[in-house]
Structure 1
Amino acid sequence: MRPFSRRAALAGLCTLALPGAARAIEQTRFPVAVSARRIAAFEPRNTDRRRFGALHFRGGLVLSSGHPRFGGFSGLARLGDGRDLVAVSDRGYWLTAKVMSEGGRLAGLAEGEMAAILGASGRPLTRSGLFDTESLCIADGTAFVGIERKHEIARFDWARDGVEARARPVPLPPALKRLPRNRGLEALGVVPAGALKGALVMIAERSGKEDEPTIGAILGGPRPGLFTVARPGGYDITDLAFLPSGDMLLLERWYKPLRGVGMRIRRIAGRGIGPGALLDGPTLIEADLGSEIDNMEGLSVHQENGRTVLTLISDDNFSFLQRTLLLEFELIL
């Protein structure tokens, strides 16, 4: 979902301003130089504060690039020890890069590259009308991408082909195909442990009215089926990620025209996930524009020297009023 107004002319302005930009737009794979400005404090009015709820702020970056395709990142994965970053933009592109750190804090991205997400034919996925790629997870060498407006999930052989992998459809329950057009599959992940190990879990941003639970689904594994997720406070679901234990973290967001944007992360016990369940759980962190947040849409979890690290990315909607943020937290509870 795009909670802020898009600046539709921005890409056009960039094309006029940048030599060769029109040719770059037509390319399906190209390098991108990514600039990074460090965020020293998550709460600017209290620069010494590092702990926020159950999370410890490790650092953050404001990312930018002169390439008109850069931005709109809604899904995120960090592989292995976290050095390899993969993101998807809601205009059907991969971003891959190496994460650079100094003194245990984010320092920048290197070796940036973007590539069109390919459909089964080898042509860009967007040419078949499958745009608005909003969610991503990579597990056991397979990448899964959720496509919001068409309510589709595509799988890719990431281990073999990387960004050159071609989409293969994942069959979905009929209930997911009836989701609101711009309230679709914003969150997905593969369960790493427990009774549902190996199953693909997905959750819709919002499937009903303002305060109603939203729908989720379990695909594969021994207990496939539908469930719902409570939405206290009117938050919308924007992503999920699993902890090694099988517990699920939910990234959520609200947007109000006169108040701006807010963010929350909840922890859902893995043992409670199952067909027919109504899921809810404690809040790990909650923040508004008093903190360094924007339209936070992507969440990834990785292990680093025995620590559990959460990484968040924001969707700037290609608007000069917004920012692409990359934030890092350590789970301390």
Structure 2
Amino acid sequence: MRSSMLRVLACLSLFFFLVPVTYVRGPGPPANDSQYIALEPIVIDAKNPVRSRVGRLEFLGGWTMTSDNVAFGGISSMVALPDNRFLMLSDNGSLFGFTLDESKHLANRPFIAPLPDGPAKPNAFARQNWDSESFLHDPETGQFWVGYEHQHSIWRYGPSLARREAAHFPEVAKNWPENGGAEAMLHLPDSRFLVFSEAAEYLKGGYQALIFASDPAEPDSKAVSFGYQPPKGYNLTDAAILDEKTALMLHRRFTPFDGVSAILSIAQLKDFQPGKVATSVPIATLKPPFKVDNMEALAVTRDGDQIFVWIASDDNFSVLQESLLFKFRLLKGKSVRKNSGPGRKNEKAEASPGFSTFESD
């Protein structure tokens, strides 16, 4: 009986992971426009609270985020600003912001508001179709870019996020799966933009991604395609520039029997070339007994030589899931040899320039 119940719960969870939110949200509670966001501190491993190492990540803190505002949840991407200020986008077109006080576990100066404009269809459920999945910020101009799926497009907003400046519906993205659009974006040091589809298959392998030589939100911008191959069984959910040569790539997987897991990996920017298929090297895996949910948002910050990795989860507006925020320190790794047992050759993990791989715990 217990095993049957577990299978039922697993299938219910799978439904919330795989079906677009637009079709699974019910009438919900009465409208509540509270601007308060509460943080509850958590550990990465409840069975071993002192554990902090996850591959090349050192766990520094984690929080469950909640709010009475019915628009809160569904976090799909985020931007980290100076002074621990975070902006997070929901897949219902809502924008959340707060300044994180890590010592007091407070979300100071919070706000929850809809984006000022988006590609919604003119109907009663338009807001639910503003499925914002990727988010970029240019600290020099203050401008923001948002990637939408369902109605596949890239939009640029002004420094205050108060108005739309430009919008582009790339012709090459029109045939992408409805729920497999612009899941991640990167703004490269050479000024090019990359836009990654989560589920549009690339003929040469992996999933389709686009290279824009100029601003992808401008209607006359042109794109060329390449492929990105995630770790086997995983889908890309976000990406962030790490340095002038590399990017961090976040992936998730869910199966009824293994549950949810996430992989963080490092990709070489030089591998993102037209007509090629790029890959990445895993550096950490989040899976039970580690605390993990539908990890969809990724950001990188720095303090001197230290690099911090922030990961947040999309709860799909489901009572079975949570909105989590994790802070990790990225550790400098070293190549390690994996011995698979008697009679097996030692296999040396590949090392990427500047950041060597390290076996996950």
Separation in structure 1 between the aligned mates of residue 122 and residue 52 of structure 2, nearest angstrom: 42
Change in 2 beyond 3 A, CA 1:179/1:131: same
Contact kept? 1:94, 1:163, Cα under 8 Å: no
Deviation at 1:49, TM superposition (A): 2.1
- Residue 321 of structure 1 deviates from its aligned partner by 0.8
Offset at residue 214 of structure 1 (A): 0.6
**Whole-angstrom distance in 1 between the partners of 2:300 and 2:109:** 22
Q: Deviations over 1:261-306 (max 9, x none)?
A: 1100110012222212211121011122321110111101121243
Residue equivalent to 2:154: 153
Deviation at 1:53, TM superposition (A): 1.1
Q: C-alpha distance in 1, partners of 2:174/2:301? A: 31
Secondary structure, aligned partner of 1:175: helix
Does residue 39 (structure 1) correspond to residue 80 (structure 2)? The answer is no
Q: Does structure 2 conserve the Cα–Cα contact (< 8 Å) formed by 1:154 and 1:170?
A: yes
* Counterpart selection for 1:71 from 58, 73, 77: 73
Letter in 1 for 2:247: M
> Which residue pairs with 2:264 in the alignment?
265
One-letter code aligned to 1:36: L
Identify the structure with bigger relative contact order (alpha carbons < 8 Å, sequence gap 6+): 1
SS at match of 2:232: helix
The alpha-carbon deviation at position 224 of structure 1 amounts to: 5.7
Task: Kindly provide the amino acid, as one letter, of the partner of residue 262 in structure 1.
Answer: S
**Corresponding residue for residue 3 of structure 1:** 17
SS at match of 1:69: coil
Separation (CA, whole Å) in 1 of partners of 2:306 and 2:145: 25
Normalised TM-score (structure 2): 0.77
Q: Does 1:201 align with 2:194?
A: yes
Other-structure match for 2:208: 215
C-alpha deviations, 1:51-85, integer Å up to 9, x for none?
2111111110001111111111101110125x110
Change (3 A) 1:163 1:240: same
Label 1:68 to 1:224 Cα distance change in 2 as closer, same or farther (>3 A). closer
Conserved? CA contact 1:76–1:86, under 8 Å: yes
Identity %: 25
* Counterpart residue number, 2:175: 178
Q: Residues of 1 paired with 2:146 and 2:122: CA distance?
A: 14
How many Å apart are 1:163 and its aligned residue?
Answer: 3.3
Larger Rg: 2
- The answer on whether the counterparts of 2:315 and 2:323 sit within 8 Å (CA) in structure 1 is yes
- Sort the Cα spacing of 1:165 and 1:303 in 2 relative to 1 into closer, same or farther, 3 A: farther
Could you tell me whether the CA contact under 8 Å between 1:119 and 1:168 is conserved in 2?
Answer: no
Number of equivalenced pairs: 304
C-alpha contact 1:118 1:124 (8 A) present in aligned 2: no
| Structure 1 unmatched ranges of 5 or more | 16-20, 25-30
Q: Which residue of 1 aligns with 2:161?
A: 163
CA contact (8 A) 1:212 1:231 kept: no
Equivalent of 1:119 in 111, 117, 120: 117
Deviation at 1:46, TM superposition (A): 2.6
What does 1:247-286 correspond to in 2, within 5 Å? 247-286=246-285
Cα distance between partner residues in 2 of 1:129 and 1:291: 32
2: distance between equivalents of 1:167 and 1:312? 28
Equivalents in 1 of 2:303, 2:225: separation in Å? Answer: 33
Q: 1:120 Cα deviation (Å)? A: 7.2
Label 1:294 to 1:187 Cα distance change in 2 as closer, same or farther (>3 A). same
Partner of residue 350, structure 2: none
What letter corresponds to residue 111 of structure 2 in structure 1? E
Q: Which residue identity does 2:288 align to in structure 1?
A: L
Q: CA deviation at 1:127?
A: 4.1
| Structure 1 residue 243, shift from structure 2 partner | 1.0
**What does residue 187 of structure 1 align with?**
184
Unaligned runs of 5+ in 2: 1-14, 216-221, 333-361
